[in-house]
């Protein structure tokens, strides 16, 4: 993965984050869609940033990032986000938001796992 590829992935991540903000600001979907679609765009955008940074730091394409590094990134990100949600939960929210926060934390971790796993499937099926 060269610098041009990384720049394109980061641009895609930025556009996903921007899309999430625009959908939320202009209420472009239904009530539940206005919450879910921006969240999903943000989660995928953050995942793309993490994959790009991991690829850049390990000097390898996304399909060849060592499993040990992937594990550190996924678990580290999951712990950091979980701690942030716990702190925000105590400071800003009420008890009803805990279920949503736990669901978002779990879903974000799952999205990260899938995003790091997808390039490996592609490289095994298509070695070119």
The fraction of the chain above a pLDDT of 90, given in percent, is 42
Three-state secondary structure call for residue 116: helix
Q: For the chain, how many structural domains are there in total? A: 1
Burial code (b: 16+ CB inside 10 Å, e: under 16) for 30-68 equals eeeebeebbbbbbbbbbbbbbbbebbeeeeeebbebeee
Cα separation, 12 vs 124, in Å, equals 24
Per-residue pLDDT at 76: 96
Domain of 15, in residue numbers: 3-125
Structure tokens at 114: 């899938």
Distance CA 54, CA 65 (A): 7
Q: Which ranges of 1-128 does DSSP label H, i.e. alpha helix?
A: 3-26, 33-58, 67-91, 97-125
Helix 97-125 and helix 33-58, axial crossing angle in degrees, nearest 10: 50
Would the pLDDT of 96 be above 70?
no
pLDDT tens track for 105-126: 999 999 999 999 998 886 666 6
């Amino acid at each position: 993965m060269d610098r041009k590829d990384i720049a394109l992935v980061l641009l895609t991540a930025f556009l996903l984050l921007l899309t999430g903000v625009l959908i939320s600001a202009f209420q472009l979907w239904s009530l539940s869609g206005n919450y879910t679609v921006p969240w999903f765009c943000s989660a995928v955008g953050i995942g793309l940033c993490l994959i790009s940074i991991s690829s850049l730091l390990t000097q390898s394409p996304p399909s060849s990032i060592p499993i040990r590094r992937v594990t550190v990134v996924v678990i580290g990100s999951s712990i950091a986000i979980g701690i942030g949600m716990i702190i925000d939960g105590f400071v800003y929210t009420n008890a009803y938001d805990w279920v949503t926060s736990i669901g978002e934390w779990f879903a974000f971790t799952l999205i990260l796992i899938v995003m790091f796993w997808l390039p490996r499937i592609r490289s095994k099926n298509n070695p070119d």
